[in-house]
Amino acid sequence: MVDGNHSGHYCALVGLDPKISTMKKSVISLFAITIWIFAAICPGTLSAQTNKGDNGQKTEGYKFEKGQEIHKDYVDKILKKKMRLLEQYLTALIKKEAPDYLKDVDKAMVLFNNDETKLVTITSKTTGKVYVKTVKEYLNDVSKLPYKSIDVTYRNYTAIENIRKQPDGTFRGIVVFEQEFKGYNPEGVAIYGDVIERNMEVILRIREYPKDEKSHIVSMDIFFGNLGVTEM
């Protein structure tokens, strides 16, 4: 049974100074709008299209400017793999003491391309308070939560939307998903839990490798950007 009285614990520990860190809910909307505006002003597009495969069945893929096409299933597979890794690293953080947990912080930072300027929005469903932290601060604070163990689960992903090409040659878009968080006491009983809808900036890095004179191989990697909150 989840005890709602513990709902403030997560927020209280990741927002170490409420007088400084507490922001109004409008920060959520502003945060999301900033991401969308940034993506919209950049040139180039990457769109999801439906085509017929070799077996005549319809397949969905992302079509690039130069004619390259990457199947949606392939993109989703990479995205979900990275999300599963983030779940694992967050869960591992709570079980370790310093300096051991720092190894998991470093592993998680690789998923964000080691960009310490990326931001994570944290909320409390009990108080309605909103905290915005750098991703590294967020990861370090997760290790200090007052639980014996935690579970973090990401699910119900949307397709990557509003993808735009950036000046550095990468593509950026937004994915929306649910995050379920549970905190357990030493007896293994869940004493806190919540489900929120998050939006996250994703960065797609596309590379071409020549296969022969007439063809090439297209590979892709995905990194995480700012992690916001859509609904609480």
How is the chain split into domains, by residue range? 4-231
pLDDT given for residue 16 in this prediction: 36
Q: Of residues 59 and 168, which shows the higher confidence score?
A: 168
CB atoms within 10 A of CB 54: 6
Of 85, 53, 92, nearest to 69 by C-alpha is 53
Q: What is the mean pLDDT of residues 184-198?
A: 93
Say how far apart CA 51 and CA 61 lie, in whole Å: 7
pTM of the model as a whole? 0.71
127, amino acid identity: T
Across the range 114-128, mean pLDDT stands at 87
Average pLDDT, the chain: 75
What's the pLDDT at 13? 36
Give the model's pLDDT for residue 67. 57
Separation of alpha carbons 75 and 67, rounded Å: 17
pLDDT of residue 124: 74
